[in-house]
Amino acid sequence: MRRAIFLDRDGVLNAALLDGQGGPLPPRLASELRILPGVPEACAALRAAGFLLIGCTNQPDIARGTTSRGFVDWVNAEVAVACGLDEMRLCPHDDADACHCRKPRPGMLTDAAAAHGVDLGRSWMVGDRYRDVEAGQAAGCRTLFIDLGYAERPPTSPPTAIAHSLAAGLPILLSGGHRCPSPLKPCV
């Protein structure tokens, strides 16, 4: 079975915008899409180490009617190409839809694992929100929390490791999580 790195999109692969309360938002315009520094190189290193790279993104603005599915599909395609992803999975639902794919539920990860023959216990979920960490934990993955200091609650259970960017977390992912002295102390 294969190993995978499941990657949240906004805040991990591309820059997230901030709302007025310090919470993350996805790009709303093509001009706002910016791949984060070091991300293509980190993804290339993960691929070279034998990981499958799968993006997993919640995009509830589709269900809310504040952005189009076409625009989200365009952003997903741009990010997937720029980062060399094998696949980009999307949940277009909002919390009220109670779907199995909206993080913190693990459906995107478990569905992708079934489709690609992925061993979830040897895989990682990388995300910048509690939803990402909790989805990874529910799926049985190790988790890397990209702590960007959002004004929202932290993950309920400690992640496997913490970093401030995917590039900074790369040594953790490549070493299996053994370079971080404590899951409660950020690795930079």
**Active site includes 19?**
no
Q: Which of 10, 61, 128, 132 is catalytic?
A: 10
> b or e along 100-127 (b: 16 or more beta carbons within 10 Å of the residue's beta carbon)?
ebbbbbbbbbbebbeeeebebeebbbbb
Number of H helices, E strands in the chain: 6, 8
**8 carries an active-site annotation:** yes
Which residues are bridge partners to 143 per DSSP? 125
Sign of CA dihedral 63, 30, 108, 20: negative
Residue 113 has, within 13 A of its CA and on its CB side, a CA count of 23
CA distance 152 to 169: 21
| Active site positions, annotated | 8, 10
